[in-house]
A and B are shown apart, each in its own frame.
Chain A
């Protein structure tokens, strides 16, 4: 049983093997970008939105609302990052129902890449917001003793993100494959439906956790109010 699409090389480009994960990722990217271009190519403020544009507006504003609930001061860059995470993971997981399509998120490499992206993005957002010193100061909060624990916590976040997503998606695909062998007519359908739900939930969880991490990194630490009095 093949557990990851990384092992399947679809074609070779300049001596580099392009595996199924990358190809399927490109497919997902093409779908997302193509749909966006199709819907927004003739976007004018004086033309009433059609149903496709309304759908995209609902999705984008829904993501934005979720992000604002977590971090009211968040910038649009957070929306670009977290929204892309959600859309990519959600569409990848939804494409699970397409026969022969292996979601790129069922590859540990993909989930690790996304987790690494979050791991890199969090300090970048934090530094952009607070500056390098301000961000690094968060590692010694509330005291210097907490520095190793904060570093471990930072990395464990990425690892948990990657493993959680990979495990859920891959396990769904594996369970569906096993059940397909046992009861080929009924259980796979149920499991696919469950997989869709799980995939959407995982996309939501991944994007929300990323947003929470970014939000915590960009939150400015307030000084204690009684500090003046102590002096």
Chain B
């Protein structure tokens, strides 16, 4: 056991070389790599922290937007609901008004129908009455009736004196036509009454089978009828006038 000083020096030199080699190829690369990796990790961590902060901010923003959206949605739903209710009320009101209008129209239509039916009924009744009256008068008409009518004419001429006088100016004669021949007494009375009103105008009596029972007096172009037909026509006229006035009054009573 001895120390070889040449070997000692060689080993010192070897050791120093080894220190340099390991410093060059081991320690520096490894430690620098660790340092750079640590720096990179630190940078990544800080980047991750920034990304996390950004994500947190984005999340907060998203939550706020979501809440805002939800609030807006609720308001929108409420608005739509109110609008729907208003529209429903409007539709209901419109439907009610329409129904009321239709009801009023139906009532008016019914009223008009009833009025028309009543009018038709009255007209039919009047027509029937007219026919019955005419038929009854025709059936009952005879010389006596025409005589009575002639005597009645005598009393009716006086109010017509002016018309008769003007008609007689252009006439040569007056003609009294009956369905059947008048009795002589009646003829004289009619003649006397006419002469009293229109003196000098000759009166001729004639018969016409087609004429309605009664007396028709023609002076020139003027004709005065006192026949069954003229009476029934007058009756019809009165009835129609009466119906026209009676219908409206009756309808008003119903309306009230």
User: In the assembly, what is the distance between CA of A16 and CA of B9, in Å?
Assistant: 13
Query: A21: which B residues are within 8 A, CB to CB?
Result: 4, 7, 11
Query: B34: which A residues are within 8 A, CB to CB?
Result: 57, 61
Query: A102: which B residues are within 8 A, CB to CB?
Result: none
A138 interface contact, C-beta 8 A: no
- Which partner residue on chain A sits nearest B16 by CB separation? A117
A76 interface contact, C-beta 8 A: yes
Q: How large, as a class, is the contact surface on chain A?
A: 35 or more
Query: A29: which B residues are within 8 A, CB to CB?
Result: 14, 17-18, 21
| Cβ-closest 7 pairs across A and B | A113-B11, A40-B29, A36-B26, A109-B7, A45-B36, A36-B25, A113-B8
User: Which of B9, B23, B25, B40 contacts A113 (CB under 8 A)?
Assistant: B9
Q: In the complex, how many angstroms separate the beta carbon of B6 from the nearest chain A beta carbon? A: 8
**In chain A between 1 and 56, which residues have their CB closer than 8 angstroms to a CB of chain B?**
3-4, 6, 16, 19, 21-22, 25-26, 29, 32-33, 36-37, 40, 43, 45-46, 49, 53, 56
11 contacts between A and B (CB under 8 A): A26-B14, A36-B21, A36-B26, A45-B40, A53-B33, A84-B18, A88-B18, A109-B7, A112-B8, A113-B9, A117-B12
User: In the assembly, what is the distance between CA of A182 and CA of B11, in Å?
Assistant: 34
5 more contacts with CB within 8 A, not counting A4-B2, A40-B25, A113-B15, are A40-B33, A45-B36, A57-B34, A80-B22, A113-B7
> Are the C-beta atoms of B21 and A33 separated by less than 8 Å?
yes
User: In the assembly, what is the distance between CA of A11 and CA of B100, in Å?
Assistant: 133
Query: A37: which B residues are within 8 A, CB to CB?
Result: 25
Interface set of B (CB-CB < 8 Å, partner A): 1-12, 14-19, 21-23, 25-27, 29-31, 33-34, 36-37, 40
Query: B37: which A residues are within 8 A, CB to CB?
Result: 45, 49
Q: In the complex, how many angstroms separate the beta carbon of A202 from the nearest chain B beta carbon? A: 16
**Count, A-B residue pairs, CB within 8 A:** 116
- Which partner residue on chain A sits nearest B1 by CB separation? A3
Q: Which of B9, B15, B26 has the most CB of A within 10 A?
A: B26
User: In the assembly, what is the distance between CA of A130 and CA of B26, in Å?
Assistant: 28
> Are the C-beta atoms of B11 and A84 separated by less than 8 Å?
no
> Are the C-beta atoms of A40 and B26 separated by less than 8 Å?
yes
A122 interface contact, C-beta 8 A: no
Q: In the complex, how many angstroms separate the beta carbon of A162 from the nearest chain B beta carbon? A: 9
- Which partner residue on chain A sits nearest B17 by CB separation? A29
Q: In the complex, how many angstroms separate the beta carbon of B130 from the nearest chain A beta carbon? A: 126
> Are the C-beta atoms of B19 and A113 separated by less than 8 Å?
no
> Are the C-beta atoms of A36 and B7 separated by less than 8 Å?
no
> Are the C-beta atoms of A109 and B8 separated by less than 8 Å?
yes
User: In the assembly, what is the distance between CA of A110 and CA of B8, in Å?
Assistant: 6
Query: B11: which A residues are within 8 A, CB to CB?
Result: 21-22, 25, 104, 107, 109-110, 113-114
Query: B4: which A residues are within 8 A, CB to CB?
Result: 6, 19, 21, 109
> Are the C-beta atoms of B29 and A84 separated by less than 8 Å?
no
> Are the C-beta atoms of B8 and A116 separated by less than 8 Å?
yes
A187 interface contact, C-beta 8 A: no
User: In the assembly, what is the distance between CA of A53 and CA of B15, in Å?
Assistant: 24
> Are the C-beta atoms of A116 and B12 separated by less than 8 Å?
yes
A83 interface contact, C-beta 8 A: yes
Query: A139: which B residues are within 8 A, CB to CB?
Result: none
Query: A207: which B residues are within 8 A, CB to CB?
Result: none
Digitize A126-164: 1 where CB-to-B-CB distance is under 8 Å, 0 elsewhere: 000000000000000000000000000000000000000
User: In the assembly, what is the distance between CA of A104 and CA of B7, in Å?
Assistant: 11
Q: In the complex, how many angstroms separate the beta carbon of A207 from the nearest chain B beta carbon? A: 13
**In chain A between 93 and 120, which residues have their CB closer than 8 angstroms to a CB of chain B?**
104, 107-110, 112-114, 116-117
> Are the C-beta atoms of B27 and A43 separated by less than 8 Å?
no
A87 interface contact, C-beta 8 A: yes
User: Which of A84, A108, A116 contacts B19 (CB under 8 A)?
Assistant: A84
User: Which of A46, A53, A83 contacts B27 (CB under 8 A)?
Assistant: A83
User: In the assembly, what is the distance between CA of A97 and CA of B31, in Å?
Assistant: 31
A201 interface contact, C-beta 8 A: no
User: In the assembly, what is the distance between CA of A26 and CA of B6, in Å?
Assistant: 16
Q: With A22-B11, A110-B7, A116-B8 as known contacts, state yes or no: A56 contacts B17, CB within 8 Å.
A: no
A60 interface contact, C-beta 8 A: yes
> Are the C-beta atoms of B29 and A113 separated by less than 8 Å?
no
User: In the assembly, what is the distance between CA of A83 and CA of B40, in Å?
Assistant: 26
